[in-house]
Copies of this chain bind each other. A is one copy, B any other.
Amino acid sequence: MIERYSLSPVRDIWTLEKQYERWLKIEIAVVEAFEEKGIAPEGTAKKIREKAKINVERILEIEEEVDHDVIAFIKGVTENMGDEARYFHMGLTSSDVVDTAWAIGMKEATKMILEELKSFIKSLENISLKHKKTLTVGRSHGVHAEPTSFGLKMLTFLAEMKRNYTRLKRAYEGIKVGKLSGAVGNYANISPEIEKLALNKLGLRPTEISTQIVPRDIHAELFSVFALIGSGLDRLATEIRHLQKTEVLELQEPFKKGQRGSSAMPHKKNPIICERLSGMARLLRSYTIPAYENIVLWHERDISHSSVERVNIPDATMIMFYMLEKSIYLIDNLVVDKERMLETFKRSYNLVYSQRVLLGLIGKGLSREDSYKIVQENALKAWEEKKDFKLFINSDKRITDHMSEKEIDELFSNEYFLKNVDEVYKRFF
């Protein structure tokens, strides 16, 4: 991932140094298990822990020669070790170390992302509560539809992110599996008992059954959830971008003091964070395809998944974390212009009440078909002549024959549209 989108603490997980540290931790956990089971003499793990040195440059140097990163690591780390080196990596295959280390790294990163998602949910709760009854135009197809509350709008994101939290939590539980089952997963040279002992020390559990590696559907599930979360944030970003359009301007993403929107046009205040989120969501969506393809490995494994994962696991977790961090900032500092939201109603000549008139007529005994035609006729006139829809309603005999002016007036009230808002909120608070 590029510097620009790499935020601590997730970025710190994915340095080469930290990777070697995870590898070492795993090797030592296995030796400890050997010791507990009497396979290695007492004190072996302690000695190894003392003598094992991670020297990144030296390891890379050895890799140049042996063309295998784990072997280089082992050689590098055990170079000045004594006899206890015999227990180091004993009975293991490289993937035991590599895949278990991925699990640790992904577990750590996903935990941070879960925390971040939880904070974001909190932000969404706050904004939803604050704007429970903030009247705004609901839109479908980009066209004014009917009145609703801005809080309800935000509540849909809250609900989506809570679903996503559940999904991410499940994926998180799913990825907490390592494997120490040897070259083809048959436990020939290491026992299920050792695997369990060592993995538990690392906060992991054994994969139900592994080949040479942890099966990749487990990782692909995580990538799927990132794509779901990313697309949900994209939906939110798109909503804000729409509502920040000059013609609408009901929302604005925070604009810092000193910030400049354009090198050419000093008046510009652009929703650049939102646009960035929309772009990043494309990245997260695209990462799923190779993650799915990675499932389809040959026999007990081929290593084609590896080049993909070296790039995409760090990148996806960093992007996901970055997006959530920015989303929290965005929602916590979103500029909501309630007055403007009310003014917006004027843009559609009271046409947002057309369904109420339709239902009013049906209530008066007219057929749905006839009522629809009458209302549509008046509505199209209002659009064309850019005049108040109510004027046309009040002067259409086919309507006034059935409804008094007062009855018509009542159809044009906003309270009506918010009457069930409390009911919906009860599902969340």
Contact = CB atoms under 8 A, between A and B. Distances in A.
B215 A159 contact: yes
A289 B147 CA distance: 33
A285 B297 CA distance: 15
A178 interface: no
Protomer copies: 4
A127 interface: no
A347 to B, nearest CB: 5
Given A146-B184, A184-B148, A296-B281, A140 B215 contact: no
Interface stretch (A28-36, A112-120, A272-280): A272-280
A57 interface: no
- How big is chain A's contact interface, by range? 35 or more
Contacts of A287: 286
* Interface-central residue, A184, A268, A352, by most chain B CB under 10 Å: A184
A283 B297 contact: no
Interface in A266-302: 266-272, 275-276, 278-283, 285-290, 292-302
A355 B189 contact: yes
A209 interface: yes
Given A191-B420, A285-B293, A141 B271 contact: yes
Contact of A248 (B220, B247, B280, B376): B247
Contacts of A174: 163
A242 to B, nearest CB: 6
A307 B288 contact: no
A276 B303 contact: yes
A304 B288 contact: no
B354 A231 contact: no
Interface string A80-122: 0000011011111110010000000000000000000000000
Contact of A420 (B188, B312, B352, B376): B188
Given A68-B261, A279-B307, A304-B275, A142 B292 contact: no
B90 A307 contact: no
Interface string A49-77: 00000000000000001111011001100
A224 interface: yes
